[in-house]
Structures are given as structure tokens and as C-alpha cells.
Amino acid sequence: MAYLLSLQEGEPSCLRSTTFICTDAELRAVSRRAAAAGWPVAATDSSDPGGGHGILVELPGGERFRVLAGAADKRPLADGDVPVQLTHVLINSSDAQRTAAAAESVLGLRVADDRQMVFVHELNSGEVFARASLGSLSHIAFQMQDVDALMRGIDRLRSHGFAPVRGPDRRDLGANTFVCFIAPFGLVVEFSASVGPADRVP
């Protein structure tokens, strides 16, 4: 399953849901597992670019995930110096271990690292649950085409008054280069490059 991200202005600020794209067979399987787990499940149709139909599910900690099938692929932006896909979303959770286990057993994701934060993923994109006192959105990370594009992205944001608050640096899991900024709406946004497979950490 791959992801898409939609940002909308609203009051108050909140994370409405994280969306996963899957096949019809995967959607049926997730629907069955969510219902068996007793999660709230509601049918939904997407008006986002690419469309799609599916379900909106709520995890035990209150995190909401939208799972869509039948969505059309959208081409990445032609500019090679802008993000090409979503790398991960980090969500603060009062019980990160339980939330990740639920995402693994019901959504079909796989826990790759649970030493400090719990990283669950599918292919090279993933969801991260950080241990915190309450549920909230910590940051979103976008993948750049390569390290050169990441460095040009830093220069571009710096020229608009947004200096990095962390990085550039290198991360152990995935061995990716990353840099973090504070977005105009107050959220931490990360650029990543050279993201490798996130294999299970013993």
C-alpha cells in the first residue's frame, strides 16, 4: 500500500486521517480484520486527486486511517527538486506499542523498529508512533529525488526564511539523509533522501 497526504485549512488544527492505497482484495481483508477487532469502520469515497473508495477506521488510541482502493496513480511533479513522495508520518501516541501492534495485525503493516519509537512500514514508506502523553501529529516526511535535490530544497526554503531546525543528518533506520523545518502552519516537515529498506531491527 502506498500513501497520499492531504492538507486542509481548518479550525481547530487536527489530523483528519492518514490514507493508504491498496487493491480491492486488500481492502476487503482490512475491512474484515478491522470489524473482527471491533474498530469503528465507516465507508468512504475520496474526492482527492486519484479518487478511490474504501473505509475510514479508528484505532484504539483514536488514530484515524483511511484505506482506499480503485485510486488512480498520479504522476510526481515534473520539477526534480521538489518532494516526489511521502516517506513517513510520525504520530504521537499514549500507547505507541499497542497502536503499532494494531496497525500490524489489522492494517497489515510490519514493525521494523521499536527501540525508541515504533516504526511500522510497507515497502519504503511507513508510519511512526512516538511514545507521548497524548495523541497528536508530530511531523510529516517527504522523500526528495536524491541528496543533491535535498540540498537544493534546503537552499530554496532558506531563501524564503525557513532555516533548518535539525540537520542535514543521517538516520540509522533506512540509512537516509534528512533535514527538518518548521512549516508556516507550525508543523515539523522533513525532507529525506536515499531512503533504504527499513528491515526489522533486532
Q: Residue ranges per domain, the chain?
A: 2-69, 85-193
β-strand pairing of 188-193 with 136-143: parallel
Identify the CATH homologous superfamily for domain 2-69.
Answer: 2,3-Dihydroxybiphenyl 1,2-Dioxygenase, domain 1 (3.10.180.10)
Contact criterion met (CB below 8 Å) for 169 and 129: no
- The Cα 6–Cα 178 span in angstroms is 22
Contact criterion met (CB below 8 Å) for 86 and 3: yes
75-103: b or e for each residue (b if 16 or more CB lie within 10 Å)?
eeeeeebbbbbbbbbbbbbebbeebbbbb
pLDDT attached to residue 196? 53
Rounded average pLDDT per 10-residue block, the chain, 202 residues: 55 70 90 92 89 89 85 73 79 76 79 54 46 63 89 92 90 75 86 64 40
Contact criterion met (CB below 8 Å) for 42 and 110: no
pLDDT attached to residue 5? 56
CATH topology of domain 85-193: 2,3-Dihydroxybiphenyl 1,2-Dioxygenase; domain 1 (3.10.180)
Burial of 35 from C-beta contacts in 10 A (0-12 / 13-18 / 19+): middle
Instruction: For residue 140, give the C-alpha cell.
Output: 510529516
Question: Given this chain, do its domains 2-69 and 85-193 carry the same CATH topology?
Answer: yes
Residue type for position 105: S
Summarize the chain as % helix, strand, coil (round to 5). Answer: 20, 35, 45
Instruction: For residue 1, give the C-alpha cell.
Output: 500500500
DSSP code at position 37: H
- The Cα 196–Cα 187 span in angstroms is 25
